[in-house]
Structure 1
Amino acid sequence: MVRRQQHRRVRGVVVAVGVVGCLGAGAVGCGRGDAVTGGAPAGDPVRVLHRAADALVQAGTSKARTSLEMATGGTRVTVRGQGVYDYRKRIGRLKVLLPQDPAGAAARRPITELLAPGALFMKNRGAGVPDDKWVRVDTGTLSDGNLVTGGATDPFAAAEVLRGTRAATFVGRTEVAGAKVRHYRGTADLERAARAASEANRQPLRAAAKGFATARVPFDVYLDDQGRIRKVRHRFSFVNGRKDEPVAVASTTLLYDFGAPVDVRLPEGGDIYAGRIAEE
């Protein structure tokens, strides 16, 4: 029954897909050559970005804000989230706010999401799920690898996409939320990212490489002087039922307040809903 429930979610019960359907070692030393290069950091940008996820592990934890934007049928919607993440334990918590629906109905209560290796837990999911129950999704079964499914991209998965960077350039210096950063722009390959990813993200990224309209992911990323991601924006091409009509999805993750306490407790078996989830 659990497996059938998970497959039903892949076909359109998941948060972001449901929104679309209803609308129709670090890089610490990279600045040593700045005086010589006129502001560009020393080192190959591709190799710098391959190490960005490792810099987050070294940092330990952070707070996060997420934004998922998509356009379909001439309408643009944005799903926003906010929470905390532990990069060593690979767990996090987000509160995700869905937008007002096209009919003008009031926005739903925020959905609480718990991110864990290989799993996504959601509370206040709706679709016939009792308010006190969690829904569990095996992220390895999702056609997008949970890069857009929950209405937010798992912060560490977002970082590990950069392990698949094939081409990148240094754009310049700027600031993000008061932090001095270096802006890079490039393209990652999800198949390559899957091969280089941590064990927990390997299968989800492999699934995303097959499930998206293309495995190529353009991105903009901003790294601080410790090589940590402060902001990353991916542009995915999501298949919404037909290969010839992909949906453009832009996922932005903002990371800040590194070292913030993270206390995430995953649901017990009895707290997880095992019944049927209604189509939305």
Structure 2
Amino acid sequence: MVVQDRRGGAVSMAVACGTGLAVGLLATGCSPDGAAADDQAATARAAASEVRRSADALVRAGAARVRTAMETASGGTRVAIRGTGIYDFRTSSGQLRVLLPDLADKPGEGRQPITEILAPGALFMKNRGAGVPADKWVRMATAALADGNLVTGGATDPLAAAELLRGAREVAYRGEERLDGVRVRHYRGITDIGVAARAASRRSGPALTAAEKGFTTDAVPFDVYLDEVGRLRKARQRFQFANGAPEGASVTSTTELYDFGVRAAGVRLPERRDIYTGKIASAAP
């Protein structure tokens, strides 16, 4: 951040600060404007540092319950997808039940919920449709996805959502609020996917590296809410990608975490014989 120095010369500095050591005062910046700017810069640095460390706090916390929401806006059309489940940050794995919106030609009928298993380097989906038998799983390597699975599965992997914040910049503290009865600190800023990928753990780094290519910009605006021990309670992140449309498309992904310390049974990955290996059609949301 560039701060304009509006301080006067040696004489005015000597009068304002009560000393003739104008040169020294110019170096130390004793004017009220300089002190305020320094305080603001220090506050911004502290806010960014706390946001970047939120992924570490989640790993220390262990497991948590998850609520997800993803809204896509393109060409005046909005589609919302919601999910619930549990995630263990120590093993980087979890399971979600994702609800898709009704089909346009069958309003009110709903769709079969998709079961998703999130695991290091992979996303497994069951009841995906698109020509996949109902009793089979689809496996996707997250590092091979153009967006690193930040939006592909209809929910952002909770650890990836937190690791993405390692690239946070221009962070502003927005005050305290209450979320599900818990006092939280609200921060707003922008995170850079490329910076986050280089700072992320080995578990999330490859997927975030892939995500650098999947969006029209690496800059991801966010709102996050951290509790008193720095754990991420809620993250709202906004992505932009081309989607073949002139105006592109935007995706707002919201991840909420609660009930920390809940006992999470180990996620059981599908057996090889249960994974579908045939051709998969494109599944419209």
TM-score normalised to structure 1 length: 0.83
Q: 2:258 aligns with which of 249, 256, 259?
A: 256
Cα distance in 2 for partners of 1:60, 1:132 equals 31
The question of whether the paired residues in 1 share the 8 Å contact of 2:167 and 2:193 is answered with: yes
Cα distance in 2 for partners of 1:102, 1:238 equals 23
Aligned-pair distance for 1:50?
1.1
Read off the aligned partner of 1:196 and give its amino acid letter.
A
Q: Which residue is 1:76 aligned to? A: 78
Q: Which residue is 2:178 aligned to? A: 175
After superposition, the Cα gap between the structure-2 partners of 1:171 and 1:124, relative to the gap in structure 1 and judged at 3 Å, is same
Q: Which residue is 2:105 aligned to? A: 103
Aligned-pair distance for 1:226?
0.8
Cα distance in 2 for partners of 1:55, 1:216 equals 24
Number of aligned positions between the proteins: 241
Aligned-residue RMSD, C-alpha:
1.7
2:90 corresponds to 1:61: no
Aligned-pair distance for 1:208?
1.0
- Report 1:5-44 matches (<5 A): 44=46
Cα distance in 2 for partners of 1:200, 1:53 equals 12
Q: What do residues 170-207 of structure 1 show as CA deviations (whole Å, max 9, x unaligned)?
A: 00000111110000000000000000111121111111
After superposition, the Cα gap between the structure-2 partners of 1:191 and 1:43, relative to the gap in structure 1 and judged at 3 Å, is closer
Q: What do residues 125-178 of structure 1 show as CA deviations (whole Å, max 9, x unaligned)?
A: 111111111100011011111000000000000000100112201000001111
> Percent same amino acid among aligned pairs?
58
Aligned-pair distance for 1:238?
2.0
More RCO (CA 8 Å, sep 6+): 1
Q: Which residue is 1:20 aligned to? A: none
Cα distance in 2 for partners of 1:219, 1:43 equals 16
Read off the aligned partner of 2:274 and give its amino acid letter.
D
Q: 2:221 aligns with which of 215, 218, 225?
A: 218
After superposition, the Cα gap between the structure-2 partners of 1:42 and 1:191, relative to the gap in structure 1 and judged at 3 Å, is closer
- Report 1:193-208 matches (<5 A): 193-208=196-211
Q: Which is greater in Rg?
A: 2
Cα distance in 1 for partners of 2:259, 2:45 equals 27
2:133 corresponds to 1:122: no
Question: Structure 1 residue runs of 4+, over 6 Å off?
Answer: none
SS at 2:110 equivalent: coil
2:153 corresponds to 1:153: no
The question of whether the paired residues in 1 share the 8 Å contact of 2:74 and 2:248 is answered with: no
Cα distance in 1 for partners of 2:106, 2:223 equals 33
After superposition, the Cα gap between the structure-2 partners of 1:42 and 1:250, relative to the gap in structure 1 and judged at 3 Å, is closer
Read off the aligned partner of 1:211 and give its amino acid letter.
G
Cα distance in 2 for partners of 1:227, 1:98 equals 32
The question of whether the paired residues in 1 share the 8 Å contact of 2:72 and 2:78 is answered with: yes
2:263 corresponds to 1:233: no
Structure 1 unaligned regions, length at least 5: 1-36
Cα distance in 2 for partners of 1:274, 1:136 equals 9
Q: Which residue is 1:31 aligned to? A: none
Cα distance in 1 for partners of 2:181, 2:44 equals 23
Structure 2 unaligned regions, length at least 5: 1-38
Q: Which residue is 1:92 aligned to? A: 94
Cα distance in 2 for partners of 1:133, 1:89 equals 24
Read off the aligned partner of 1:75 and give its amino acid letter.
T
TM-score normalised to structure 2 length: 0.81
Cα distance in 2 for partners of 1:151, 1:279 equals 14
Q: Which residue is 1:16 aligned to? A: none
SS at 1:200 equivalent: coil
Cα distance in 1 for partners of 2:282, 2:117 equals 22
